[in-house]
Amino acid sequence: MGEAFGLHTFGNDPALMPIIDVANVACGFHAGDPAVMEATVALAKQHGVRVGAHPGLPDLVGFGRREMKLSPAEVESLIRYQVGALTGFLRGHDLPLNHIKPHGSLYGMLARDEELMLGAVRVARDYGVPVFGIAGSAHQRVAEREGVEFVGELYVDLDYNADGGLIILRQPHATDPEAAAERTRRAVLEGVVAAEDGTDIPMSFGSICVHSDTPNAALVARAVREALASL
């Protein structure tokens, strides 16, 4: 959420807020700015939605979806800076920080590299909040090793490779709401999702992610919530 900048608006935030429980709010590096963060936090409070920080790479042009060469110290500083910015707006609305979830290519880099992930975990530990990420990856391994709560995620609008990693696209695409609902049902009932090659991979999760910038994000989110309610 909050992935707009200045006069340029993106995503489907007003339509999504009444449907969701938790929002991952951009913190200004891959998207977002002070006015957008303020408006997004206010909208979340209006709808009783918990707010987590969604720190990304400092790459507005690439929307945080192009990898960078960073040291563990640089990763920690980038995340600490962005979480601090969002926390300022949360305090203005008397809301707590709910969690930290890295964005885009930073998310993927941290899933593969335990040294880089340690920076994110240190910030989460300082704020006393969980980290959202991919179960079985460096996200989970480092968080649990450092005594930080971990929440695994299920993605319904991105494909998985056979190793359980996400296939991150540079451009958002529409997702079939019924396909998203079916993935949700299978993940809950059978504990698996179908990878891009058709094989089933195990899936452990406590949160379901829907991207706000896909064209029909609100329809996808509603289909997922209805699927959950039917189980």
- Other beta carbons within 10 Å of 228: 13
Res. 95: pLDDT tops 90: yes
How many Å apart are CA 150 and CA 93, to the nearest integer? 26
Average pLDDT over residues 71-82: 97
Q: What gap in Å lies between CA 92 and CA 38, rounded to an integer? A: 9
Q: Letter for the amino acid at 34? A: P
Q: How many residues does the chain have?
A: 231
Q: Which H or E run includes 43?
A: helix 34-46
Pairing of strands 159-160, 150-155: unpaired
Per residue in 48-70, pLDDT tens? 999 999 999 999 989 989 999 99
Three-state secondary-structure class, residue 196: coil
Give residues with Cβ within 8 angstroms of 176, minimum separation 6: none
For range 19-32, the mean pLDDT:
97
Instruction: State pLDDT tens for residues 143-164.
Output: 999 999 999 999 999 999 988 8
pLDDT > 70 fraction of the chain, expressed in percent and rounded: 100
pLDDT per residue over 117-147, tens digit each? 999 999 999 999 999 999 999 999 999 999 9
Listed in order, strand segments (DSSP E) in the chain are 22-26, 50-54, 97-100, 131-133, 150-155, 159-160, 166-167, 192-194, 200-202, 207-209
pLDDT at 168: 74
Residue 203: its pLDDT value, please?
94
pLDDT-derived band of residue 27, with 50, 70 and 90 as boundaries?
very high
Q: Which candidate, 144, 125, 150, 146, places its Cα nearest to that of 204?
A: 150
CB 37 within 8 A of CB 25: yes
pTM, 2 dp: 0.94
Q: How many CA atoms lie within 13 A of 7 on its CB side?
A: 0
Stretch among 5-14, 23-32, 203-212 having the lowest mean pLDDT: 5-14
